[in-house]
Amino acid sequence: MNKKKGTTLIEVVIVLSIISILSGISITNCYGIYNSTLNSFNVDICNNSILHIINDSKQYCKGKNKTGYLVFDSRSITFHCGLTVKSYEMPKEFKLESINTSSGKQLIYIDNLGNTSDACTITYKDRKGKNHFITLRVGTNYVQIK
């Protein structure tokens, strides 16, 4: 009996099928990790940008000896001091949920000394639907990310 060494077509198809299944699972896991990392990165940028526009607005009012206010809507934060001075657009798929102020308005007033008139909590949702909170305190001008 002569036996030929080599692989049959069925063996090659089975090996290729196993490799395809494993690579498909691996790519799916990598995509999930990528989305999670991208969301976390955008949350950090969003937190820093909100803090930045609040602190810049306070500095502007103090430096120009003028009053101003920040307006919040579902997609952006805009600083007004006579004219629109600065605006921040939320990342794609992020949404400002609420600004809890004692006045109930979606505004934060800033006096000519750079102080805010009202404490508040800014709430926004990331693309995964998780809530994030930024607290603004009066008197100490302290802003905290939770």
Q: What residues does each domain of the chain span?
A: 9-145
CATH dotted code for 9-145: 3.55.40.10
Separation of CA 88 from chain center? 12
Report how far residue 81's alpha carbon sits from residue 70's, in angstroms, rounded to the nearest whole number. Answer: 9
Could you tell me where the beta strands, DSSP code E, fall in 2-146? Answer: 68-72, 76-81, 83-89, 95-100, 107-110, 120-125, 131-136, 143-145
Q: pTM score, two decimals? A: 0.74
Q: State residue 139's pLDDT score.
A: 66
Q: State residue 1's pLDDT score.
A: 60
Identify which of 65, 64, 50, 41 has the alpha carbon closest to the alpha carbon of residue 108: 50
Q: State residue 65's pLDDT score.
A: 92
Q: State residue 107's pLDDT score.
A: 84
Separation of CA 90 from chain center? 7
- The answer to whether residues 67 and 73 touch, using CB atoms and an 8 Å cutoff, is no
Q: State residue 106's pLDDT score.
A: 81
- The answer to whether residues 108 and 116 touch, using CB atoms and an 8 Å cutoff, is yes
What residues of the chain score a pLDDT lower than 50?
Answer: none
Q: State residue 140's pLDDT score.
A: 64
- Count other C-beta atoms under 10 Å from residue 63's C-beta: 10
